[in-house]
Amino acid sequence: MQTRKLDTQESTVKWFAARDARMRNIANASLYTDKQKTRAERMKLALEMVYAAKGVHINYRKTKIAVKVDGALVRRKGDLEQLEADWTKQGVIKSVSAQGVIYSFA
């Protein structure tokens, strides 16, 4: 799987960043079809099974959908490798940052 390393900084005012992200997420969700939203939900459920994490969140962006695994710790390595192999064929990109692991697709 194609993996990118992100060097993103945490927000100094976390509650404002969370509120802003929530509002952008609501607005951008209307840009995607039900099929794309269902794909994101399925990815979220699969990631919850293979990672032990603080949370798994779907983020609807302007050009792509991202599924973030917050505080990712791999629980089932073999299953994760199989999922990532399938998702690579479908064009999913994996990004790793200090905040967690992000899987994104258009």
Q: Let me know: does 105 contact 39? Beta carbons within 8 Å.
A: yes
Q: Is 96 inside a domain boundary?
A: yes
User: What is the rounded average pLDDT of the residues 7-23?
Assistant: 78
- Domain count for the chain: 1
Number of H helices, E strands in the chain: 3, 7
13: pLDDT strictly greater than 90 = no
Q: Is 1 inside a domain boundary?
A: no
User: Tell me: the pLDDT tens digits for 30-86?
Assistant: 999 999 999 999 999 999 999 999 999 999 999 999 999 998 899 999 999 999 999
Q: Is 27 inside a domain boundary?
A: yes
Alpha helices per DSSP H over 30-75:
34-50
Q: Is 92 inside a domain boundary?
A: yes
Q: Is 8 inside a domain boundary?
A: no
Q: Is 78 inside a domain boundary?
A: yes
**Predicted local confidence at residue 45, as pLDDT:** 96
Domain that holds residue 39: 13-105
Q: Let me know: does 56 contact 68? Beta carbons within 8 Å.
A: yes
Q: Is 26 inside a domain boundary?
A: yes
pTM of the model: 0.82
Q: Let me know: does 81 contact 46? Beta carbons within 8 Å.
A: no
Q: Is 3 inside a domain boundary?
A: no
CA–CA separation, 59 vs 92, rounded Å? 14
